[in-house]
Structure 1
Amino acid sequence: MSDALLDIAGLSCAYGQSDVLWDIDLLLPRGKVMALIGRNGVGKTTLLHAIMGTRPAKTGRILFDGTDISALPPHKRAKAGVGFVPQGRHIFPQLTVMENLETGLSASGDRSNTKHGIPQHIFDLFPKLYDIRNRAGGFLSGGEQQQLAIGRALAGRPTLLLLDEPTEGIQPNVVQQIEAALVHVRDTLGMTILLVEQYLDFVWRFADNYSAMQNGRILQQGRIADAPASDVAHFIQI
């Protein structure tokens, strides 16, 4: 069995006639966290959408857990074990917290050891969600919505979690709560995580590896332990 849970080779994507990703190669080992870093508009979010299947690939191959998922629609990738927390959270504002979480269950057929179908560890990670479980999503703060979006993705019991800017627009104390929850997800649940993130201090505390993108290509990759964040800061500075 390969050590890589995610193996991307020669991936290219376009919006209409405009290419936005060129020849992306990426290996993400099981149980590790990789951060995609780079300025806005370099293709980081498009890469996450290509992995999830919400943005079709023009060329290339995506292997997930040894299986080629390149042609699978998003709902089948979710059932295979890919969870996605998009930028902007995109929770359902008219649904309650509990109902939002329940929408994440469709990616998992196992409902054992749950509360109303929701895995108990989600409420252990984010106790506030249980306290406000009957509140409509549209009345939540930005930090609460982010916790809900992460909880909804975790409800599907993914083996790979894609996170797009999880700290964006979040108060520092809530960022700390989210970081602690994600550390638990990584260390205790053994989840593999690929995240887009501009906050390098967070990346250097949390991730194992980084891939720096520029103009739709990966220009540099490395281990977090091998270099200080200052060595890659130029990739996100304007």
Structure 2
Amino acid sequence: MSLSNRRSTEGPGGAAPPRREDPAPAIKALGLSAGYGGREVLQDVSLTLNAGEILCLIGHNGAGKSTLLRVLFGLHRPSAGSMKVFGEVPAQHTPAALGAAGVALVPEGRGVFPDLTVEEIFGLALWSAGVPKSGQRERVEEVLEVLPRIKEFRTRRAGTLSGGQQQMVSIGRALLTRPRALLLDEPSIGLAPKLFQDLIRPIAALRDTRGMAILLVEQNVREAFAVSDRVLVMRSGKFIFDGAPSDLDDHARLMELF
């Protein structure tokens, strides 16, 4: 290398500029195994959800997708394996510890309290997350900016809402914690395709506005692929494909993986 070229890579005073390190993955799980009643569901699964990435996880019913999300959020303890969240090992493998580390889960089936109003559900979530009263209004306003239609039914009981409205409430409840990694389990269930599209796109936009990482378990592959950076396919508790959504443009290839 010539002297002039060497100097062009150096910083002030001739010192080399500091190397910019990539951020730690939002979630890095290694060798996870888990099951129920002696039946193994996950088999030595390793997964990396990069910071600021939307990762779509697909697979047949019973493949282990929901179990994986439950393990990643501390709702189910693995029989083997380890995980880090943003480069750190969580203090405990519990929802409280994972939530404190920046992870939130939107479960399959929404899980809203039917007898509570939307405002009461949000208040309960804020209390559970330990958000002081002085900051609660700001948190709610942030959610309403992402999902403004909630304003139309925020005083209604969740049990009186449509499936799409309940899904908004479930996602909004998770966003109140300002997660850095969001786990979404089958958010399209029971929703018309257009409604799911209107719901998932503002959520996906949080990747750009907040740098949020999103792990999306979804069967509506067309809409999910449209917002995803990468796709994982699971079969019988193991990953059998890891690639770009465009790699699965061929419908026949996609069906082979199922």
TM-score (norm 2): 0.85
Q: Is the 8 A contact 2:69 2:183 kept in 1?
A: yes
> Structure 2: how far apart are the matches of 1:39 and 1:203?
15
Q: Is the 8 A contact 1:81 1:107 kept in 2?
A: no
How many Å apart are 1:225 and its aligned residue?
A: 4.0
Partner of 1:11 in structure 2? 32
How many Å apart are 1:183 and its aligned residue?
A: 2.4
The count of residues paired between Structure 1 and Structure 2 equals 235
When residues 77 and 109 of structure 1 are mapped into structure 2, their CA distance, relative to the original with a 3 A threshold, is: same
> Structure 2: how far apart are the matches of 1:112 and 1:160?
24
Partner of 1:232 in structure 2? 254
> Structure 2: how far apart are the matches of 1:218 and 1:107?
33
> Structure 1: how far apart are the matches of 2:75 and 2:197?
30
Partner of 2:194 in structure 1? 173
Q: Is the 8 A contact 2:55 2:230 kept in 1?
A: yes
Partner of 2:73 in structure 1? 52
RMSD between superposed Cα atoms in Å: 1.9
Q: Deviations over 1:9-30 (max 9, x none)?
A: 0000010111100000111110
Residue 82 of structure 1 pairs with residue 103 of structure 2: yes
| SS across alignment from 2:108 | coil
Q: Is the 8 A contact 1:108 1:156 kept in 2?
A: no
Structure whose alpha-carbon radius of gyration is higher? 2
Q: Which runs of 5+ in 1 are unaligned?
A: none
| SS across alignment from 2:26 | strand
How many Å apart are 1:129 and its aligned residue?
A: 1.0
Matches within 5 A, 1:3-152: 3-69=24-90, 71-105=92-126, 106-107=128-129, 109=131, 115=137, 118-152=139-173
When residues 19 and 110 of structure 1 are mapped into structure 2, their CA distance, relative to the original with a 3 A threshold, is: same
Q: What is the identity, as a one-letter code, of the residue corresponding to 2:139?
A: I
| SS across alignment from 2:205 | helix
Residue 220 of structure 1 pairs with residue 241 of structure 2: yes
| SS across alignment from 2:41 | strand
How many Å apart are 1:204 and its aligned residue?
A: 1.4
TM-score (norm 1): 0.92
Q: Deviations over 1:112-135 (max 9, x none)?
A: 6653x5331211222221121110
Q: Which runs of 5+ in 2 are unaligned?
A: 1-21
When residues 47 and 233 of structure 1 are mapped into structure 2, their CA distance, relative to the original with a 3 A threshold, is: same
> Structure 2: how far apart are the matches of 1:208 and 1:177?
19
Worse overlay, 83-92 or 103-112: 103-112
| SS across alignment from 2:154 | coil
Worse overlay, 8-17 or 178-187: 178-187
